[in-house]
Amino acid sequence: MQKRSKYLSAFLVTLFSSSLAFASGMVLKLGHIAEKTNPYAMGADHFAELVKKKSNGEIEIKVFPSSQLGAQKELIEGLIYGTVDMTLTGTAELGTFQPQMAIFDMPFLFKDRAHAYKALDTVGMELGKPLEAKGIKLLGYMENGIRHLTNNVRPVKSPADMKGLKIRVMQNNIFIDAFREWKANPVPMPKQELYTALEMKAVDGQENPYIDIETNKMFEVQKYLTTSRHAYTPWLILYSKPLWDKLSADEQAALREAAIAARKVQREANKTLDDKALVSLKRQGMVVSDLDKQEREKMMEKVKPVYEKNLATYNKEVSDLVFGELKKIRGN
């Protein structure tokens, strides 16, 4: 009887402890700007499912796509002030709050996807630590993708073909500087305004991953696609640091583990859907031009001043850390 009582007491202690691990009925809001059919929107949904599973159903994440909670700038500000729990956002917009994060937007920075993944999951996480002082907790990197150029004026088969084209770019100095070096006329603009701007011919073209070009139906207002592969952009899984600090250790662990698991699934799905999107864009009638090795090297050569200008604004220790790790991962 005494032995049974001892086991019962131990069971009750365990049960009571586990009930304290997660706040009952916690509901978190995660906002992002993508349409529900976009791969990183799917990644957000998968992340929410994993968190629910890992928390035994005690943490529910309500996902608000399509800028329902605001544009990227408003979402990041919401994290800082604790009015938004979570968001997925790009390095371009985040760079306006923490400039060193924009280093990953440098053109032709990564050799390929595998190179990007290794860099972001190591030095990228290290680079995100200073965000905490700004009120932002970095949980990991999902994928936006490899970016390509479209326009409605002419095929672009070399940097010279970009001359004079009005190209919508993200509101990011690195992208603005790069397209200026390629002699285009960069027009920074929120993504929500892009389709209308293309339709009204306020801009000639834009640059995005294949999947974005397809899901946003840009093939309806763009004729020419160039497989430029001029940049790789990730999406960051971010949590409000003021709210993060109020979570229990178990709640934090559930969110971290879910972010890592969702990251892997989302990246794999994104690559598959991106490949399918290119096939679809060709089927929709877009004229596709490939940049050969020589022309891509010309593009890379022309943006050396972009590296010099922007790296001068970063802490040298940060630049050395990032490029040292990139070189090590690349193996040369």
Residue 36 pLDDT: 87
Reported as a pLDDT band with limits 50, 70 and 90, residue 24 is low
SS3 assignment, position 277? helix
For the chain, give the percent of residues with pLDDT over 70: 92
- Helices 249-283 and 39-54: crossing angle in degrees, nearest 10, is 150
Residue 25 pLDDT: 83
How far apart are alpha carbons 87 and 75 in whole angstroms? 7
Residue 18 pLDDT: 41
**Lookup: tokens for 117:** 């993944």
How far apart are alpha carbons 218 and 168 in whole angstroms? 13
Lowest-pLDDT range of 75-79, 191-195, 201-205: 191-195
152, 158, 174, 136: which is closest to 295 by C-alpha? 158
SS3 assignment, position 84? coil
pTM, 2 dp: 0.89
The number of beta carbons lying within 10 Å of the beta carbon of residue 280 is: 17
Strand boundaries in 41-169, DSSP class E: 59-64, 86-90, 136-151, 166-169
Residue for token digits 């700038």?
73
**Torsion angle of the four alpha carbons 122, 128, 130, 134, in this order, in degrees rounded to the nearest 10:** -170
Residue 13 pLDDT: 40
How far apart are alpha carbons 24 and 32 in whole angstroms? 25
Q: Which residues contact 145 (CB under 8 A, 6 or more apart)?
A: 209, 210, 211, 212, 232, 233, 270, 274
**Lookup: tokens for 206:** 């834009």
**Lookup: tokens for 160:** 């010279």
93 close to 170: Cβ distance less than 8 angstroms: yes
What is the residue-averaged pLDDT of the chain? 91
SS3 assignment, position 22? coil
Residue 315 pLDDT: 80
**Burial profile 111-129: b = 16 or more Cβ within 10 angstroms, e = fewer:** eebebbbbbbeebbeebbe
How far apart are alpha carbons 206 and 199 in whole angstroms? 12
Give 25-330's CATH code, choosing from 3.40.190.170, 3.40.50.1370, 3.40.50.1980, 3.30.1020.10.
Answer: 3.40.190.170
